[in-house]
Amino acid sequence: MNPQLANFILKKTPDFILHPKTMSDTVFTLNTGAKIPALGLGTWQSAPGEVKTAVSHALKVGYKHIDAAYVYGNEDEVGQGLAEGFKSGIKREDVFVTTKLWCTYHSRVEENLDLSLKSLGLDYVDLYLMHWPVPMNPNGNDPKFPKLADGSRDLDKSWSYTQTWKEMEAVLKTGKTKAIGVANFSVPFLEELMKEAKVTPAANQIENHPYLPQQEIVDYCKEKGILITAYSPLGSTGSPLFQEKEIQEVAKKHDVSPGTVLLSYHVARGSSVIPKSVTPSRIEENMKLIKLDSDDVKALDNISKTHPPNRFVYPAFGVNLGFPDKQ
Ligand SMILES: NC(=O)c1ccc[n+]([C@@H]2O[C@H](COP(=O)([O-])OP(=O)(O)OC[C@H]3O[C@@H](n4cnc5c(N)ncnc54)[C@H](OP(=O)(O)O)[C@@H]3O)[C@@H](O)[C@H]2O)c1
C-alpha cells in the first residue's frame, strides 16, 4: 500500500481500534472516588534479587497496580522496580500502590507508613491497609513476630484494632495515603469496626479463590461499598487449584489456562485480584483475563459446596478472627 495512504488511514483510525481495551484494563471505583485497576501484582514471598525485576517487568507490560506490605521485607526492592518504571516514562499517578500496616505497629500507624514510604521511594501510597486486625507487642522480643516464652504470639492486649482504625483515619488526613482499608476482616470484625468508624474502609483484602469464596464477606462489603481485593487467587505456592476438574473444564470451554479462569473469576465478582509472580512469562500470562459468563461463575462457586474450605494463609496468632471456616 502507498505509505502516504497507510499513514492517512492510521491517523483517521480511532484510538479504541488501534489500542483495544482488554479485560486486564478493567478498573473499579473505590468509595473515595479513586479508580483501582482490577489486576495488580502481588509481592509476598518475592525474593530479594527477583522482586525489583518482577515489578519493573510488570509495569513495562502494562500492570498499573502493585501490592506491597511492610512485613514482606522487600519494599526497598519493590521501590527500585517502581523507580525503574518511572524512569522509563510511566507516571506516578498512573500506578496504584497499596501497602500495609504491620501488627507490631498498630499503635504507631504513621511511623510504619513512613517506613514503607521511605523504602518504596514514594511520597504517598494509594491505599494503606491494616494487614490483620491483631495488635502485637511493639516492644516484644522480635520487631515483627514477637513471641512469649511459651512460643505463642505476643499480642498487645492493651490496644484494639478499632483504636488502630482511628489512627488510620488520622493518617488519611496527612495525604501520605489516598485511601485506607483493611485486610483479613471477617463480617463480625467489620461490624465491630463500622460501629466506631468515621471513614468506611475503601477495601478489604481477603484470601479468595474457589476453595474459599467467603461469600458472606463479599456480600457484606458490597452492601457497605467496600471493594474486595482477592489475595492468593491461585491458591498460593504449589496450588492444587490448577488441577481442579471444574476449573479445567471452564478453561477448556474458553480455550484458556486454568490460571486465567482463577483470576477472571474475581473480576466477574466485581473484585480486584493480585496474583504474585516473579516469572516474567507468568506475569504476562496473568494479564490474560476473560469475561466469564454466569454459568462459569456458578460452576466455580459450586466447587466450595463439595470441597471443604481450604485457607492457605492463616498465621498462628491464637486469635479467633471470626471466619466461619475457623469456628
Ligand atoms: N493481605 C494479606 O494478608 C495477604 C496474604 C497473602 C497474600 N497477599 C497478597 O496477595 C498476593 C498473591 O497471593 P500469594 O502470593 O499468596 O499467591 P498466588 O498469587 O495465589 O500464587 C503465587 C504462586 O503462584 C505462582 N504463579 C503465579 N502465576 C502463575 C501462573 N500463571 N501459572 C502457574 N503458577 C503461577 C507463583 O510462582 P512464581 O512467583 O515462581 O512465578 C507463586 O508460587 C501476595 O503476593 C500478596 O501481595 C496478601
Catalogue all structural domains in the chain, each as residue range(s) with its CATH number: 23-239+271-278 (3.20.20.100)
Residue 158 has pLDDT above 90, yes or no: yes
- Whose cell is 516469572? That residue is 279
Q: Which residue owns the Cα nearest ligand 1 atom 48?
A: 231
Residues 6+ apart with CB under 8 A from 137: 104, 146, 154, 155, 156
Which pLDDT does position 19 carry in this prediction?
55
Which pLDDT does position 2 carry in this prediction?
78
What are the two backbone dihedrals, phi and then psi, of residue 116, each rounded to the nearest 5 degrees?
A: -65, -45
What is the average pLDDT across 188-213?
A: 97
Q: Which residue owns the Cα nearest ligand 1 atom 10?
A: 231
Residue 81 has pLDDT above 60, yes or no: yes
- The three-state secondary structure class of 66 is strand
Task: Tell me which of 45, 276, 289 to substitute to probe ligand 1's pocket, judged by most ligand atoms within 8 Å of the beta carbon.
Answer: 276
What is the average pLDDT across 36-49?
A: 95
Ligand 1 pocket, residues with Cβ under 6 angstroms: 42-45, 67, 131, 183-184, 205, 231-237, 259, 274-279, 282, 285-286, 313
> pLDDT band at 15, cuts 50/70/90?
low
Which pLDDT does position 137 carry in this prediction?
98
What is the average pLDDT across 253-266?
A: 97
What is the average pLDDT across 98-105?
A: 98
What is the average pLDDT across 243-270?
A: 96
Q: Which residue owns the Cα nearest ligand 1 atom 13?
A: 232
Ligand 1 atom closest to residue 233's alpha carbon, by position in its atom list = 20
Percent of the chain whose pLDDT exceeds 90:
89
Ligand 1 atom closest to residue 312's alpha carbon, by position in its atom list = 16
Which pLDDT does position 238 carry in this prediction?
84
CA separation for the pair 151, 215 (Å, rounded): 34
Q: What is the mean pLDDT of the chain?
A: 95
Q: What is the pTM of this model?
A: 0.94
> pLDDT band at 321, cuts 50/70/90?
very high
* Between 23 and 249, residue with greater pLDDT: 249
CA 41 – ligand 1 centroid, Å: 9
Ligand 1 atom closest to residue 282's alpha carbon, by position in its atom list = 31
Which pLDDT does position 128 carry in this prediction?
99
What is the average pLDDT across 215-219?
A: 97
- The three-state secondary structure class of 6 is helix
CA separation for the pair 179, 185 (Å, rounded): 17
Q: Which residue owns the Cα nearest ligand 1 atom 11?
A: 42
Catalytic residues, by residue number, are: 72
CA 64 – ligand 1 centroid, Å: 17
CA separation for the pair 183, 239 (Å, rounded): 22
CA 233 – ligand 1 centroid, Å: 7
CA separation for the pair 90, 175 (Å, rounded): 22
